[in-house]
Chain A
Amino acid sequence: MASNTLTIEEYREVAPKGTVDLLLRLAERVRGRRFLHVNSTRSGGGVAEILNRLVPIMTDLGIKAGWEVIEGDPGFFATTKALHNALQGMEQALTVAMLEHYVDVNRANAERLRPTGDLILVHDPQPAALILARPPEGKWAWRCHIDLSAPQRRVWAFLRRFVERYDAAVFSLPSFAQRLDIPQFLVYPSIDPLAEKNRRMSRQEIQKTLDALRVQSDKPILLQVSRFDRFKDPVGVINAYRIVKRYHDVRLVLAGGGATDDPEGAEVLNEVREVAARDADIYVLDLPADAHLQINALQRAATIVIQKSTREGFGLTVAEAMWKGKPVIGGATGGITAQILYGVTGYTVNSVEGAAYRIRYLLGNPPLIRRMGAAGREHVRRNFLITRHLQDYLSLLVRLTA
């Protein structure tokens, strides 16, 4: 389905009862208002992925929704990458010249784009300094998708002087926010139930996809989907699987990417392959970034989904798995704790042993697996679908432009 043809009516079947009507009526209050999104890329990454879906639906709802993308040279994007890492706590060296270039590129983009609207939502640090050129009319909000809880202080002090010129900031979790002198709103990210990664699949289609991946489905499948990154603790997942394997004959699938464009990712992948060696029931799949259908099929084929991160952003793979009716066992960190209702849709755990215990517990209780899966799907339906995201953004439009 081409994203620019998306309509709100397509979501009536999957959204909670009454939600689409509520959205249509909410949209009536802001019909014709201009809502402009600005970010740094039109494809790749979670922000572009969701904007590709949100903007057409907003347009369908009668909002004059727009989406602009800033441009920059390699030096600019090297700086914003370092900014991004430093804001998430990694030590980075940012020179005065780099920061000046960041501001200059933002000024040039402001001149080129001349962003105007009733509400301009600027996503993430890359275009944050566009605010320097804001016109007198319209409200500006900064949408921060990253974890700002423990930033490199000097870098945050640099960015903060732009952020505090906005009318509001929006964060994905309260723990990701910083103290600011402007109102801060909470908007969880979301998944799109109609996107390739989450759409309904037939049994045959799932099986065909698993066959293509050479993953056998004759035993219960434990699955973790994530980049090959130490913070996702893939080795910990294998260790938990080995404890479980003493009691239950299961397969483990570790599916992810990030090994091709990230030297550390490649290192972690090699380590995982080494640890998994000679166990035919462990599958380590290094998938390309656009393997949405494969991920969908794996999540649907899994018995239990694991997200045993030791550090995590929001971790939307949890919502993706719950949407497919799977109980999730996740590390007690970041957005995982906001998504898993402990004992209702899954469990949060703090160790390999904790993960192993909960996997065993669930495998020994098939009715509980089904009950938790069903509860998880309903929890996601209400709290983590794109329709709720739309409600939040329209509410922001109502609130800031009333």
Chain B
Amino acid sequence: MAQPAPFIFFGCIELREILGLRARDERELMEQLERAPLGSVYYHTHSVFLRHHQVTGAYPNDFANWVASQVRDQVLGERLAVVDPFAFGSLEALREELVSIIDHHVATLHPVPRVVFGDPFFFVQSHVIEVPAGLEARTLQEFRRCLAEVDASAIYLHTLESRVWRGQPHGDFAGWVERDLGLPSLAGAIARINPYLGGLEQARTRMLQLLDAALREAEPASGL
């Protein structure tokens, strides 16, 4: 039987670009969100986890946090917070959902809620630079060891970045476990882990639990 191809771990570093788009009220937020590059939609909904490996604000995306904490509109904050990026097949669809929520919300409000004492919303996008993490795995055991010690940016790159920008619908980890280790059930469980709810470290912990369980089950067999 051919040796599985190794899983090579990459970490990443992001360089942030200020786009010069800003919003002071909810309608402006919607309008700028419509015209912002998709990279910015991604930045404010996904790469927040690269900066905070746990969910640290009230909500897990920048739009919801800004509306709730700066505009002080808790209702819209909650409505934006509940949007799960994992439920959308594309960033365009995610953007459409966010715009629709804001549009529906402001349609009933006069005047449109705006920042009075807080900061405007500044649109940013990031350029992610991949860097080899110096770790590679050929077996499930090795994969578990590498996953436990790798920089959290690798979890981000292989679970979020790969789904959104590199056409890996289930992420790199699940793809390798299914394709190269032939473990579709474990791959499915890994693919279902949603970092959006608890952040990268929680996703890592959950993955390690799944791997430990799989390794215990496979103990009599060798090669895993």
Query: Which residues does A use to contact B, with CB under 8 Å?
Result: 16-19, 21-22, 25-26, 29, 171, 174-175, 177, 179-180, 183-187, 332, 337, 341-342, 344, 350, 375, 379, 382-383, 391-392, 394-396, 398-399
Stretch of B11-19, B29-37, B88-96, B206-214 with 4 or more beta carbons under 8 angstroms from chain A:
B11-19
Knowing A174-B124, A175-B122, A332-B117 are in contact, say whether A395-B129 is a contact too (CB < 8 A): yes
Sample (23) of A-B pairs whose CB atoms are under 8 Å apart: A16-B151, A17-B149, A18-B150, A18-B152, A21-B133, A21-B134, A21-B151, A22-B11, A25-B134, A171-B18, A174-B22, A175-B119, A187-B16, A332-B117, A341-B57, A350-B117, A379-B52, A382-B51, A383-B51, A392-B13, A392-B15, A399-B127, A399-B129
Check B131 for interface membership: any CB of A closer than 8 A.
Answer: yes
Nearest Cβ in chain A — how far from B81, in angstroms? 15
Nearest Cβ in chain B — how far from A117, in angstroms? 19
The residues in B between 136 and 171 inclusive whose CB is less than 8 angstroms from any CB of A are 149-153
Q: Out of B22, B53, B118, B120, which one reaches A332, CB within 8 Å?
A: B118
Flag if B151 contacts A22 (CB, 8 Å). yes
Flag if A26 contacts B119 (CB, 8 Å). no
Please indicate the chain A residues that have their CB under 8 angstroms from the CB of B223 in the complex: none
Flag if A399 contacts B15 (CB, 8 Å). yes
Flag if B134 contacts A177 (CB, 8 Å). no
Check B205 for interface membership: any CB of A closer than 8 A.
Answer: no
Flag if A25 contacts B131 (CB, 8 Å). yes
A21 to B133, CA, bound (A): 7
Please indicate the chain A residues that have their CB under 8 angstroms from the CB of B17 in the complex: 183-186
Flag if A22 contacts B153 (CB, 8 Å). yes
Please indicate the chain B residues that have their CB under 8 angstroms from the CB of A180 in the complex: 20
Q: Smallest CB-CB separation from B14: which chain A residue?
A: A395
Top 7 A-B residue pairs of the complex, sorted by shortest distance between their CB atoms = A18-B151, A174-B122, A395-B15, A186-B16, A184-B18, A174-B18, A391-B13
A347 to B13, CA, bound (A): 28
Main secondary structure of the interface of A (DSSP, over half): helix
Q: Smallest CB-CB separation from A170: which chain B residue?
A: B18
| Total number of B residues with any Cβ neighbor in A under 8 Å | 32
Flag if A185 contacts B18 (CB, 8 Å). yes
Give the residue among A174, A342, A379, A395 with the most B Cβ atoms within 10 A.
A174
A382 to B122, CA, bound (A): 22
Q: Smallest CB-CB separation from B53: which chain A residue?
A: A382
Please indicate the chain B residues that have their CB under 8 angstroms from the CB of A342 in the complex: 57, 69
Please indicate the chain B residues that have their CB under 8 angstroms from the CB of A22 in the complex: 11, 13, 131, 133, 151, 153
Nearest Cβ in chain B — how far from A182, in angstroms? 11
Nearest Cβ in chain A — how far from B153, in angstroms? 7
Nearest Cβ in chain B — how far from A397, in angstroms? 10
Flag if B133 contacts A18 (CB, 8 Å). yes
Flag if B18 contacts A398 (CB, 8 Å). no
Residue interface mask B52-80, A partner, CB < 8 A = 1: 11001100000000000100000000000
Flag if A26 contacts B13 (CB, 8 Å). yes
Nearest Cβ in chain A — how far from B92, in angstroms? 24
A26 to B152, CA, bound (A): 16
Knowing A174-B122, A184-B18, A382-B53 are in contact, say whether A25-B150 is a contact too (CB < 8 A): no
Q: Smallest CB-CB separation from B69: which chain A residue?
A: A342
Flag if B15 contacts A396 (CB, 8 Å). yes
Please indicate the chain B residues that have their CB under 8 angstroms from the CB of A26 in the complex: 13, 129, 131
A399 to B130, CA, bound (A): 12
Given A185-B15, A398-B129, 8 other A-B residues pairs in contact with their CB atoms under 8 A: A22-B13, A25-B133, A174-B122, A185-B17, A341-B52, A391-B13, A392-B15, A395-B129
Q: Out of A17, A177, A399, which one reaches B18, CB within 8 Å?
A: A177
Nearest Cβ in chain A — how far from B166, in angstroms? 19
Q: Smallest CB-CB separation from B50: which chain A residue?
A: A382
Please indicate the chain B residues that have their CB under 8 angstroms from the CB of A17 in the complex: 149, 151
Flag if A186 contacts B13 (CB, 8 Å). no
Check B132 for interface membership: any CB of A closer than 8 A.
Answer: yes
Nearest Cβ in chain A — how far from B119, in angstroms? 6
Flag if B56 contacts A341 (CB, 8 Å). yes
A17 to B118, CA, bound (A): 35
Please indicate the chain A residues that have their CB under 8 angstroms from the CB of B69 in the complex: 342
Q: Smallest CB-CB separation from B19: which chain A residue?
A: A184
Flag if A184 contacts B20 (CB, 8 Å). yes
A25 to B10, CA, bound (A): 10
A350 to B13, CA, bound (A): 34
Please indicate the chain A residues that have their CB under 8 angstroms from the CB of B119 in the complex: 175, 337
Q: Smallest CB-CB separation from A342: which chain B residue?
A: B69
A312 to B129, CA, bound (A): 32
Please indicate the chain A residues that have their CB under 8 angstroms from the CB of B16 in the complex: 185-187
A175 to B13, CA, bound (A): 23
Please indicate the chain B residues that have their CB under 8 angstroms from the CB of A186 in the complex: 16-18, 124
A344 to B122, CA, bound (A): 22
A383 to B54, CA, bound (A): 13
Please indicate the chain B residues that have their CB under 8 angstroms from the CB of A341 in the complex: 52, 56-57
Please indicate the chain B residues that have their CB under 8 angstroms from the CB of A175 in the complex: 119-120, 122
Nearest Cβ in chain B — how far from A372, in angstroms? 12
